[in-house]
Each structure stands twice: as structure tokens, then as C-alpha cells.
Structure 1
């Protein structure tokens, strides 16, 4: 199998190309449905695809299995991510050996700590690899030139939890020089939306006095915009600046109308690609798409981009930005195969376009955390210690949850630094009561019955529709309290619940095949839309992460402390409970039940 550098070298001198990135889905059905998606998208002729690697090697097995399938069955060149932070040397050795075994010749060598920032309490001397450059050097020492190695770059400066004003690519430049000298073959950037900053970054590398970047491809990382909320969240996690003109275009359409947001987002990316290709005098000609395991937005961008559309259709290279007309649209090609080749699956190319993330359909390849890094505390260790201190009792933990609800704390390990949503504010008093009782809430929503789709608090979806939702609450609770509560829940026909602990104990009053739609909408000229569901597979997948966050929090402290012991006890003895109340007409029903 060819390396990425060999494939780039086989192209004409200014010929554009693109690549896709996928992450291992959280559920088994998600993995199964990713396979036909990969088959469809590889028909679009990407030069290569990236498969991500979860923090600490958490997705090692899945990542390698997907990479192997792409190489052996789809015949596509694969670049396997490999992170080294908090990674045992044994895991890295096994990954590299298996990559070679499966003829995977491309590695993206990453430190792997973003977006976490600094190291945990673990003493630095216990780390085999501290930085990405250590991993690059190790791969070269062990395998010579067998692997083509890519490294990461940050056009706006590396974000370590500091304010955007303190990000500066010049500060990162010595590290990028070091990684390149150590043996990097290409550079791939973090996602960005500010083309001016990227062009300035490319110019800085191109004119570097050492000449170390001469002949090293720089590939910009681009994020297709599928929904407004996912766009804002991912940009925030990556500390990417959003130019004013981009925000103006997105804010010109209803943020809750996903279809309109998508269309605007497609044009934003098309313009970015054209600007980058033109303003760098075609030196930058490769574009990497962070697909988030979705396909429609990426397909639409390729369809509308005069730079990339010819390659996506397998046409002869067009050396400069011109209008290109083709009889076959990529929108239809994704569903039926490019050039009319019928694929062996019947799943729509965009059946899961909008309901992705934690509350979406667990059958979707895009189900789960959209950033792909696995569990995180949503704060750097220094910031976490400053905010949360060193709790030593369960009452101390209750106080932290209450302070988050009242706005005294900006973030919790299970909640990003966004503050309470407008709808959560409506049940704030109920949540505070629960947390004071030792039921630590990590998710919730109030019930609503037939609210206009353009409502400023609850609205979503197309104009002139109506939306509904059932009351939901999810919380950690001590084992003894759970079993007292379980007796009230088990026979209540208005309640559906799931509960489980880190040891594998699981309880529910539903069957494994039951599905609860907790948010739905009725709109003109379309079927009822159910973007938010609760069912067993999704709860189990989330439950593992939810308990793992206790372990992440615990790692901030020395094992000899009371806080470390407290975190371990909570992880081992608490239950996570998710409750849905079906009486969405009575908005108080769930809270009255729990406050008894």
C-alpha cells in the first residue's frame, strides 16, 4: 500500500485532493453502519482517510479493525492516528506492529492531550512519551522509513486552556520545527474557520529561514457545519476563532433550522477552500475533512466546490478554480454510488444527519461525543483544582453540583462551560432540591406540550411546526438510595427508567428493544421527526463514560489523599439513573414524584 507522500507525488504539480477522517463509533451497531458509509464515501475518491485513536488507547482495537477493513477490503490508503499521552509503551509497540502487519503505512503522531491541556498528577518521569516529537523519533528509530509520519499544527496557536488572546503560532513554531526535523513527512492542521490566520501561518512556514518545511505538504483541517450547536461546541473545544462574517451568515438563518444551517455551512466551507487554494498560489492543494462520521455535508461541499468536485467525480484534473458542470450530483452518488454503481446497502446517506451526539440514534456511526477524544473533565487540571478544590465528603460533592446550578461554578466534569440553558433554568429549583438530597444531576429537560418551532427557548426545526418533549432527569445516587427509589419506579406505568453501576449491575422496567422518543416535532410536509431518543444501548454506552469521568477526576489527586479515596468509593458504589416521565402534559409530574 502506498504512503500519503507517494500518493501526493503521483498527482500533477498543482492538482487538488482531499481526505476524510472518521472515529470508531461508540456502539456495535454504529460500527456496523459505519462500514457502508465508508464504502459510499470512498467512492468519492479521497486520497486517503484518517482513523482516530481514542485518548489513552481507549479505541485501539476498534481503530485498528476499521483501518484494516479500509486497507484490505476497500483498498483505500489509511492514516492511523496514534497518541502518546498517558500511553504505555507496550500499547504503542502493539499498535505499530499491527499497523505494519495490516500494511498500514501512514501514522499521524499526536501528543493526544487536546483538549485536556496539562498532565495529570502522574509524575512526569513515569511517562514513556511526553510529547509528539518523542513518538516521531521512536517510530523512526524502530521502523526507519517504513511509515509515512504526519504531525499536527495549529494555525491559530496551540490552545492549552489559555485565552484565545494568548494563542500564538510563533510560540509553537520551534516545536513544529523539531517534529519536522525528527522525521515528519506531512503536516495536518487543527480545524479552523479563519482563512486569514491560516494563510499567514502557511506563509510563515513557507518563508522559514531554516527551509525545514520545504517540500513538506501542509494540509488544512476543515469541519463541515452540520448543525449550529455542534459547530459552536466543536469550535469552542478547539479554541478556533469564528470570523465575524461567518457568524453573520449563520445568524442570518434560524439556528434551530438544521437544514438552513447546513446549506449556509456548505457555502462557508466552499469559500474557504477556494480562498486557501487561490491565496497560497496552489501550494496548499489538499483539504482534510473532519467528517464526525457524517457524510451529507461533506458530500455537498464536494459537489459545490469547483476546486474539489472534479476529483470527487473522478474527472480529469482541472488546474484552477473554474465552474464545473457534471450530470451526476454527489448528493445522489452518496446514496447510489458514484457513476451509477449500486452499493450493497440500502441505508440512506443522511438518515442520521441531525440526530447525532449523546442523545441521538445509537445505531448511527456519529453517535457519541463529537470531539472524538473520549471522556474529559472539560477543564485543564490546574483549572479543575482551582474550581473544585479537594472534596472529602459526599456533601462536598453536593455543594459543587448546587454551585454549578446557581452559577457560582462555570463548569463541572459532566457539564461544559456554557452555563444552564434557558430551558434548564425553568427547572432549576427542582434540580437544586435533588442535588441537595444527594442525587447529583448530569442531564435533564422539562416537559413541554405543543410549542411553536420558532419558540426562543424550546424551538427547533423548520418554520411553522410544533415541538414536544417529555421530562427527563439523569443522576448519580448512592446504592441504598437507589434501591429505595427503585421500588417507586418499577411499577409506575408513567415512568421508564434505566439504572446501572460501574460493576455491571443493571436494572430497568423496559425490555432491551424498547425505545423512548423524548423530543419530537411535527412540521409541514414531512413525517414526525424524533431527533432525541433514550434506549438501553445508548444508556449503557454513556454509562461507561459517565463513570470513567469519576476516575479522570480522581487522577488529579495523589492516591494518599481523602479526595482520591472519595472519588474511588463513588465510582465503585454509586448508580447512574435515567428517568423519563411520559406525562408531558403535566410538566410537574416527574419532579413531584422525585421530591416525595
Structure 2
């Protein structure tokens, strides 16, 4: 199969093209359903697709399997991401060998961001791959011209999170020039929303005195806007500037109505594409969509754009999601022969809601978008120096409790398990209960109060279309010592109104539910629609989250010298605590869960 640059060269000089990016979901069912989605999106005829590679190679097997499927079964030109941060040479060699053996000829060579800033990053002992340029050189030395190699660029300047104000593209330009000179065939940008900055960036590259960027394909990375919260969150994580005009358009939508936000997001992206194509005089004619494994918004953009217009439509009788948890390897072996279990597969309405209310650990674990990858893997979300400033040097469990209470009461902006967005407004309604629980050593990392039939335009709880009604069950999730957990477990077993999951770092798992049980904890009833339940809790997603949740204790521990009091404390907590998730089914009684817990 032709490489990306060969496929570009085969187009007319001004002919636009587009590409899609996908990531391996965290759950097996999410992977299976992504396969069905890939088969549909392949009908939109992208020039190529990208498959991401988790931090430190954490998704390497799934990434390569998805790439094989796209290349061999769907006949799509496929580009495999490859990072070299903290990666052993043997892992990189294996990935390149496997890619070549599968016939994959495109690699996006990335350094991979340090988890929390350079001061927290320990390069591999060999220090052979310190930067993306080292990976580009190695690929060229080892494989010659077999691979078409892409590199990343940052139209607004690279930022590691420690000092976003220091972002400056001109500071990054020498590094981009070095990567390009080492053998890059195309450039793909980080996502952005400021069209003016990208156009300026492209012009400066084309005019660069080296001449390196005169004709190399420069492909802008675009993020379709699916929901207001995910848009704000992703822009913040990527340090992407949001122009005031875009914010004004989105903020003018009442209650950030999901459907209106999606429609406005489509208009914003269509306008960005049109301006870039026109104002670069067609020098930029390729557009890369960071789909986040979602299809609806991307398809809408292609349908409405006069620049990148899809030659085909997703058929109404689209393939249903693939049920079950069989390995992806077996799916790749015979993807065209997959059979769907009607009983086990989600309904088409459920599948559609994956795009309406996507992503996040509280989403549907069967969704292809479940477990959105932000490129960092397990992270504290703040640079190491700032983390030390915020959390100090805890030496006792009382110190940990005080940090959790400070976060709940708003005097601490972030905890290791949260992002710098603050608690949601609904948490204020149960603040006193959460403070009391944390004083007792129940360190809460997630919670929500129960509500019974509030309007969908409620300023605190509202979501979804207008004229609907919202419901939710009270839930809570916390860490607690094993001895306290054993006492709590005995009490939980006396109630038939409570469902729970519990797990420790050794993967000792307990629950009063079966593996197939699913708890809907948020749902809405709207005109002319079936009941929508965007938030469910079940075993598969809890296990995926618990692994990450305990990993965060280890990340926090790494801030301190080994064998220091803080290091020892966090080590003990990691090894001896349980993570517990509880749902109370009496959503009519708003005090039910809190009375149960505080009476223990």
C-alpha cells in the first residue's frame, strides 16, 4: 500500500484531503465496538488513519492490533504513533519490526510528553532516545525509506504545563527544523482553535531560511467539539488558546445544551477549515481530525464543509456494535465474519448516545470513546514542583485527610485524582456529609447527590435536550484502610438498596453484583426520545479505573525521596487501602446514602 506522502502526491495540486485519529479504548468491549465504528468511518474515505500509542507503550499491543485491522482488513493507509519517552530500545525495535511485518508503512515519531514536566522525567538509562529527532534518525538508519515518517509541531508553541505563558513557536522552531532535516516526510500539528495563529505559523515555516518547509505537507490537527465540558477540558490539557469569538458563541448557548454545542462546534470547525484552505492559498489542503473515537460530529463536519466533503455517507443501516469481550487478535483474524449477539449488544439508541454524552470514566464502558487518552497516561495533572507546593510533605493519615477536606471545602484547588477545574456545583449540596466522611478517614474521590425529576435546564444538574427531566442516584467512591473496609462490608451486606464494588492494589475484588450487572446512576427523560442513561457503573469500568486510581498513589509517592516519611506513608496506603464504589438505589430519599454511611 502507498505511503501517506505517495497518496498525497497522487492527488491534484489543490485537492483537499482529510484523515482520522483513533485510540485503543480501555475496556475490551470498547475495543470491540470501536471496530464496528472503524468499519463505518472507513466508508467516509479518509486518506489515512492514525492509531495512537499510550504513554510509555502502555497500549502498544492494542495499538498495533488496531493498526493491523485498519491496514489489512479495512484497506486504509495507516499511521502508527510511536513514542520514545522512557522506552527501551527493544520495545521500539519490536514495534517497528511488527509494523513492517504487517505492511504498515507510516510512523508518527513522537518523543512523548514527560508526565509532569522535565524536572520529573527520568530518561532511559541508555539515553538513546531523548527526543523525537533521535527516533526519526533511528528509523531512517534502520529502515531507510521504507517508513514514511511524520513529526509533531505546535502552532502555539510547546508547553509542558509548568509555564503555559512561556509558549512560543519561535523557541520550538529549531527543534522542528532538526526533526525535519533528520528525515521527516510530513508535519502534523497539535490541536488548536486559533486559526490566525496557525496561518501565521504556516507562513513562517514556508518562509524559513533553511527551505526545509517549502513543500513538506503541513497537516493541521483539528478537534471536533462534542460537548462544552470536554472542549474546555481538552483545550486546557493541550494548552490551546481559545479565541474570544469562539467562547462567546459557545457561552451564548443556554445551559450549554449538548446538541446546540455540537451544532455550533460543527460550524466553528467548518469555518476554520475554509479559512485555512483559502488563506494559505491551498498550500494546506489536508486536515486531521482528532475524533476521540466519535463519528457523528466528524461526519457532520464533512457533510457541511465545501472544502473536505465526504464522497460517501455513513449508511443508515450501519453495522451494529460487536458484543462480547473476545480478544482483538481473534477479531482481526476474521473481521468480516464477526457475528453480533442481539441479546448482549447495546441498542442502536444506546450506541447513538455514546456520541451525545461521550468519554470520561463515568461514561458507558462499551463505548468506543471510553477511556479517552490524553497522551500522558497516569498523571497528577500538575507539574511536580507545583504538586509539592500544594500537597506539602504528608507524614500521617491525618495529613492526608486534611488535604481531602481542604479540596472539598474549596481551599485546595486540586488533588492527585482531580484536575484543576474545581468541584462541580452539585457537590456543594453534600459538602458537609463529605467533610464528615473524610474526617473519619473515608477519602472521597467521586460523589454525587440523588435527584428526582429536576428539569433538564436546571442550572446545576441540567443536561440534554430542553423540556426533559433529570434523575440520578447518590453515589460515592473513596479509599479506606482494609480494617475499616471489613467493618463496612459487613454493614453493606445487610442492605438490599446498595450496590458496591471494592478492590485493592493487589486486585482483590469484591462486589455484591454479578459481572453482567449494570447500574444506571444518571438518566434523563426527554420529548420524542427513549430514556437516555449516559452514566452507568459496572464491573469492567470499575476495574479499569481502580488500576489507574492506585497508580496515582505511586505517582504521588515519586515526588518524595525514597524512604522519606512521606514516601513510606504513601507506600503503605497504596499497599493496604481499598477503593470502594457505592450506589444507593433509593434516589427518592436524598439522605439515604449519607445516613447509611454516617451511622456506621
TM class, shorter-length: over 0.9
* Distance across 1 between alignment mates of 2:123 and 2:224: 39
Residue 399 of structure 1: aligned partner: 402
Residue 463 of structure 2: aligned partner: 460
Query: Do the aligned partners of residues 124 and 409 (structure 1) sit closer, same or farther apart at CA in structure 2, a change above 3 Å counting?
Result: farther
| 8 Å Cα contact 1:299/1:334 also seen in 2 | no
Residue 335 of structure 1: aligned partner: 318
Query: Do the aligned partners of residues 8 and 123 (structure 1) sit closer, same or farther apart at CA in structure 2, a change above 3 Å counting?
Result: closer
What's the CA shift for 1:332? 4.2
Aligned length: 576
- Correspondent of 1:365 among 365, 368, 388: 368
| 8 Å Cα contact 1:449/1:585 also seen in 2 | yes
Structure 1 position 414 matched with structure 2 position 422: no
Residue 138 of structure 1: aligned partner: 138
Q: Secondary structure at the match of 2:80?
A: strand
Q: Secondary structure at the match of 1:543?
A: helix
What's the CA shift for 1:587? 1.3
Structure 2 unaligned spans of 5+: 321-337
Residue 516 of structure 1: aligned partner: 519
Query: Please, what TM-score do these two structures have when normalized by structure 2?
Result: 0.92
Structure 1 position 567 matched with structure 2 position 550: no
Deviations 1:499-531 (A, max 9, x none): 011212111111111111111111112111111
What's the CA shift for 1:170? 0.8
What's the CA shift for 1:212? 1.3
Residue 381 of structure 1: aligned partner: 384
Structure 1 unaligned spans of 5+: 315-329, 338-342
* Distance across 1 between alignment mates of 2:371 and 2:299: 22
Residue 355 of structure 1: aligned partner: 357
Residue 68 of structure 1: aligned partner: 68
Q: Secondary structure at the match of 1:104?
A: coil
| 8 Å Cα contact 1:451/1:467 also seen in 2 | yes
* Distance across 1 between alignment mates of 2:432 and 2:163: 33
* Distance across 2 between alignment mates of 1:85 and 1:574: 31
Residue 536 of structure 2: aligned partner: 533
* Distance across 2 between alignment mates of 1:53 and 1:366: 15
Q: Secondary structure at the match of 1:497?
A: strand
* Distance across 1 between alignment mates of 2:319 and 2:36: 11
* Distance across 2 between alignment mates of 1:553 and 1:334: 48
* Distance across 2 between alignment mates of 1:501 and 1:128: 37
Deviations 1:411-452 (A, max 9, x none): 111100011111011111211221222211111111111111
* Distance across 1 between alignment mates of 2:568 and 2:115: 26
Query: Do the aligned partners of residues 334 and 137 (structure 1) sit closer, same or farther apart at CA in structure 2, a change above 3 Å counting?
Result: farther
Structure 1 position 554 matched with structure 2 position 552: no
Q: Secondary structure at the match of 2:354?
A: coil
* Distance across 2 between alignment mates of 1:140 and 1:392: 50
Q: Note the 1:92-131 alignment, pairs <5 A.
A: 92-113=92-113, 116-120=116-120, 122=122, 127-131=127-131
| 8 Å Cα contact 1:435/1:441 also seen in 2 | yes
Residue 230 of structure 2: aligned partner: 230
* Distance across 1 between alignment mates of 2:426 and 2:495: 26
Query: Do the aligned partners of residues 459 and 80 (structure 1) sit closer, same or farther apart at CA in structure 2, a change above 3 Å counting?
Result: same
| 8 Å Cα contact 2:40/2:314 also seen in 1 | no
Q: Note the 1:458-497 alignment, pairs <5 A.
A: 458-497=461-500
Structure 1 position 500 matched with structure 2 position 500: no
**Over aligned residues, Cα RMSD in angstroms?**
2.1
| 8 Å Cα contact 1:447/1:584 also seen in 2 | yes
| 8 Å Cα contact 1:23/1:372 also seen in 2 | no
| 8 Å Cα contact 1:121/1:558 also seen in 2 | no
What's the CA shift for 1:568? 2.4
What's the CA shift for 1:372? 5.1
Q: Secondary structure at the match of 1:538?
A: helix
Query: Do the aligned partners of residues 536 and 452 (structure 1) sit closer, same or farther apart at CA in structure 2, a change above 3 Å counting?
Result: same
Q: Secondary structure at the match of 2:190?
A: strand
Q: Secondary structure at the match of 2:567?
A: helix
What's the CA shift for 1:137? 1.6
| 8 Å Cα contact 1:234/1:370 also seen in 2 | no
* Distance across 1 between alignment mates of 2:339 and 2:288: 27
Structure 1 position 595 matched with structure 2 position 578: no
Deviations 1:311-359 (A, max 9, x none): x216xxxxxxxxxxxxxxx35468379xxxxx98797473411232211
Query: Do the aligned partners of residues 11 and 180 (structure 1) sit closer, same or farther apart at CA in structure 2, a change above 3 Å counting?
Result: same
* Distance across 2 between alignment mates of 1:254 and 1:571: 43
* Distance across 2 between alignment mates of 1:370 and 1:135: 22
Structure 1 position 271 matched with structure 2 position 271: yes
What's the CA shift for 1:567? 2.4
Query: Do the aligned partners of residues 114 and 522 (structure 1) sit closer, same or farther apart at CA in structure 2, a change above 3 Å counting?
Result: farther
* Distance across 1 between alignment mates of 2:308 and 2:423: 41
165-174 vs 414-423, greater mean Cα deviation: 165-174
* Distance across 2 between alignment mates of 1:529 and 1:477: 33
Q: Note the 1:18-167 alignment, pairs <5 A.
A: 18-113=18-113, 116-120=116-120, 122=122, 127-167=127-167
Query: Do the aligned partners of residues 124 and 61 (structure 1) sit closer, same or farther apart at CA in structure 2, a change above 3 Å counting?
Result: closer
| 8 Å Cα contact 2:113/2:375 also seen in 1 | no
Residue 257 of structure 2: aligned partner: 257
* Distance across 2 between alignment mates of 1:256 and 1:588: 29
* Distance across 2 between alignment mates of 1:557 and 1:128: 27
Query: Do the aligned partners of residues 152 and 292 (structure 1) sit closer, same or farther apart at CA in structure 2, a change above 3 Å counting?
Result: same
What's the CA shift for 1:493? 1.0
* Distance across 2 between alignment mates of 1:481 and 1:200: 59
Residue 335 of structure 2: aligned partner: none
Deviations 1:261-284 (A, max 9, x none): 111111111111001000100000
Structure 1 position 204 matched with structure 2 position 204: yes
